[in-house]
Amino acid sequence: MTDTRRRVKLYALNAERQWDDRGTGHVSSAYVDRLKGISLLVRAESDGSLLLESKIQPDTAYQKQQDTLIVWSEGDNFDLALSFQEKAGCDEIWEKICTVQGKDPSVEITQDIVEESEDERFDDMSDSAPPIELPSCELSRLEDISELFSNCLSSPMRKEKLAVAIESENYIRKLLNLFHMCEDLENTEGLHHLYDIFKNIFLLNKNALFEVMFADDTLFDVVGCLEYDPSSPTPKRHRDYLRQQAKFKEAIPIKNPELLSKIHQTFRVQYIQDVVLPTPSLFEDNMLSTLSSFIFFNKVEIVSLVQEDEKFLTELFSMLTNVNTSETKRRDLVLFLKEFCNYSQNLQPQAKETFYKTLTNLGILQALEVTLAADDHKTKTASIDILTYIVEYSPSVVREYTLQQANNTDEDQILLNVIIEQMICDSDPELGGAVQLMGVLRILLDPENMLSSINKSEKIDFLNFFYKHSVHILI
């Protein structure tokens, strides 16, 4: 039986600061003669090919995040991440890295990140530099705290030491207590300082601090601090939006508390990144890479948790096809499914293929036959988006399903014919849906992408099916 502890997904950060999937495999550590040192090796699960061969460098800063993630940089602007299936496997490899570097495995980062000028290096004196002493967390010291945090951002080593101090002294929760006091007292100056303080905490780019700020009992207070931008004449109302207007609709009750919490957290953190935080400069954008990673891996985990719950998905598809399901309920179900499929775009190719096969086996295409023909515009539009996701990634799944309909489905209910019918009858004056469905049809009928199909007769079978059962609708 394969050791699932060492099963990992390998990611690399691209030039747009987005994580690219590099494959699924199993990680090990071994001495590599060519590299002259202990190295991390990842071999592909599919064919055993080498996905990664990376020497554990004594001075590279490795970071452990969210219990199952190890992130590091190799050279300029080349970040790598190993996402482990199990925490135990992550701990094993982390201990190996720490052993090679002579570090305590209890740390979450193995090195101080140094990217400073010679003068700054001299000033900091590397590991011998004293820890940062935080001011007492009092209203009268907010200006001092804000100034200290701001001054630390220019030095990677001081940033690191500041983050350690904030975490070890539980400083975020203490600051949030001051936030409540400032709001109660209508202390505008203090609230402005807290805005600057929390903006700078985000720029420390530390996953451990994000874990504290994004917890259920702190996230809304953090958002509250970021409502009081000194450059804005009036406070924003982000908390009201998140509480009142952006409520997550449980189209089907989600019984897994971990999944529900992760969905809420991901939506709110995405909102913080996209709306609440000020538009970052190029310099600050690089400093927020860990926030993007936090959201990315949350989405991957959500897809995995939903995909594993076959009972939940079966119930969802059953309700979509049930004639007694109300139009409003069906719309909510389709919108949830669309968001779920959107999250799946973060998966690596092999995982994405498994994902779409799982959805197909559980009945997503039967459900789309119903929802594509819905009168409700939002339901129809979201259904077209879902179908596009599936066809763009795995057209063979749709072709195979269509061929299975040949002998047991009325022609007007065949998925391919539903697509054509909706394309022809699009009521949108700009024909947005029709254009999108035409793109779907073009992919399905493209002989070129049929050549790579495992089913060698797919091309002949599907085109014959199309000319026999569907082409007359177009003419």
pLDDT tens digits along 394-417:
888 899 999 888 777 777 788 999
Do residues 327 and 413 share a domain?
yes
Task: Answer whether residue 45 is part of any domain.
Answer: yes
What is the reported pLDDT for 350?
Answer: 74
What is the rounded distance in angstroms from the CA atom of residue 304 to the CA atom of residue 299?
9
Of 145, 38, 150, give the one whose Cα is nearest residue 96: 38
Do residues 315 and 451 share a domain?
yes
Do residues 78 and 224 share a domain?
no
DSSP state of 109: B
- Whole-prediction pTM: 0.70
Do residues 95 and 125 share a domain?
no
What is the reported pLDDT for 265?
Answer: 93
How many separate domains does the chain show? 3
Do residues 441 and 296 share a domain?
yes
- Which of 51, 74, 101 is the C-terminal boundary of a domain? 101
68 contacts 90 by C-beta, under 8 angstroms: yes
Chain centroid, CA 264 distance in Å: 13
* DSSP run (H or E) holding 30: strand 19-32
Task: Answer whether residue 22 is part of any domain.
Answer: yes
Do residues 76 and 177 share a domain?
no
- Which of 66, 101, 136 is the C-terminal boundary of a domain? 101
What is the reported pLDDT for 332?
Answer: 93
Residue 456 corresponds to which tokens in the numbers above?
A: 């060698």
Residue 259 corresponds to which tokens in the numbers above?
A: 């999944």
Do residues 15 and 81 share a domain?
yes
Do residues 300 and 343 share a domain?
yes
What is the rounded distance in angstroms from the CA atom of residue 196 to the CA atom of residue 142?
10
Beta bridge partners of 28: 41
What is the reported pLDDT for 77?
Answer: 62
What is the reported pLDDT for 326?
Answer: 93
What is the rounded distance in angstroms from the CA atom of residue 372 to the CA atom of residue 320?
11
Segments forming the whole domain that contains residue 80 = 4-101
Task: Answer whether residue 241 is part of any domain.
Answer: no
Extract the residue ranges of the chain whose pLDDT is less than 70.
1-3, 17, 75-77, 110-130, 280-287, 429, 451-454
What is the rounded distance in angstroms from the CA atom of residue 371 to the CA atom of residue 384?
9
What is the reported pLDDT for 1?
Answer: 42
Do residues 318 and 430 share a domain?
yes
Task: Answer whether residue 212 is part of any domain.
Answer: yes
What is the reported pLDDT for 146?
Answer: 95
266 contacts 66 by C-beta, under 8 angstroms: no
Task: Answer whether residue 387 is part of any domain.
Answer: yes
Task: Answer whether residue 401 is part of any domain.
Answer: yes
What is the reported pLDDT for 2?
Answer: 55
What is the reported pLDDT for 223?
Answer: 97
What is the reported pLDDT for 76?
Answer: 61
DSSP line for 231-286: TSSS---HHHIIIIISPPP-SS----HHHHHHHHHHHHHHHIIIIISPPPPHHHHH
Task: Answer whether residue 270 is part of any domain.
Answer: no
Do residues 97 and 153 share a domain?
no
Chain centroid, CA 296 distance in Å: 2
Task: Answer whether residue 251 is part of any domain.
Answer: no
337 contacts 287 by C-beta, under 8 angstroms: no
Chain centroid, CA 416 distance in Å: 32
**3-state DSSP assignment of residue 48:** coil
Look up residue 390 and give its amino acid: I
**3-state DSSP assignment of residue 451:** coil
Do residues 83 and 134 share a domain?
no
What is the rounded distance in angstroms from the CA atom of residue 162 to the CA atom of residue 452?
53
CATH number for the domain spanning 359: value is 1.25.10
- Which of 215, 233, 251 is the C-terminal boundary of a domain? 233
Do residues 298 and 437 share a domain?
yes
